Amino acid sequence: MSQQATGQAETLPTVSKKEYRRALHGLQIELVKLQRHFIEYGDKILVVLEGRDASGKDGVIKRIIRHLSPRETRVVALGKPSDRDRTSWYFQRFVPFLPAAQEFVLFNRSWYNRAGVERVMGFCEEEEYEEFLQTVNDFEQMLVRSEIKLFKYYLDISKDVQRIRLAERRADPLKRWKVSPIDDRALELWPEYSEARDAMLERTHASFAPWTVVRSDDKRMARLNLIRDLLSKLDYGEKSEEDLRADPEVVFSYRRGLAEHGALAP
């Protein structure tokens, strides 16, 4: 783990707008190469993106899919569960959106809502929360055994940055669609969300479906490094390995004790 990830005071790396655009263009070319490969070989790719409100999930998804074929690329952002959903097997509503061969699917929030928003806001019972944590690893192991390539990313931001971004949402008429009643409680319930995050990562990190943490206070660095990390973990032709080295100050594998050592926002 880097110095920053062990809690020592250090300024996180950043990137200029010009360098960001250049690097992003190169990574988007790599994503197109990846898509050609998984269409040819029938791969099934699933990316789960989790994080607090305003952690940057929409932004990184937008950059990933921008130049990909919409026929083989899908973004899933499910709304509030229906009355039928609430009486069904919890994972049932997510299953129809899983990738088939030749598909790349990104979940903008996922079944982990139960361990985050639902847990903190009281939208589920304690028994439902515990049942989820006891069964989600089994569910994900089934996905992996069915040859779905599963990647789980948690985008982590500081409280000050979340406060700024939520205020920007309210002030920008083009972003007001993102504002929800839950946003109003995000800062007030910050400690509860931290506790839920830590429990979720600890209890659902598995060798077959590990969590990767992305520090997302700097949106540009978060986007570039998440994409680099994802591409580095997948095989495809004409891969530019030298361009896919993610910065370990920004993206790193989850391990026990990250919160105590300052790698996750307290």
Q: In terms of DSSP H, where are the helices of 69-158?
A: 83-86, 117-121, 126-145
In a domain, 262, yes or no: no
Q: What is the pTM (predicted TM-score) of this model?
A: 0.94
In a domain, 261, yes or no: no
Output the pLDDT for position 10. Answer: 52
Q: Is residue 234 part of a domain?
A: yes
Q: What gap in Å lies between CA 187 and CA 214, rounded to an integer?
A: 20
Within-domain flag for 263: no
- The total number of structural domains in the chain stands at 1
Q: What is the CATH number of the domain that holds 174?
A: 3.40.50.300
pLDDT in tens, 1-58: 443 443 333 577 899 999 999 999 999 999 999 999 999 999 999 999 999 999 999 9
| C-alpha triplet 264, 248, 65: angle, nearest 5° | 90
Give the structural domain span for 120: 4-253
Q: pLDDT of 162-186, one tens digit each?
A: 999 999 998 988 888 888 888 879 9
Tens-digit pLDDT profile for residues 140-154: 999 999 999 999 999
In a domain, 260, yes or no: no
Q: Decide if 193 is inside a domain.
A: yes
Q: What does the DSSP 8-state code read for residue 120? A: H
For residue 44, tell me if it sits in a domain. yes
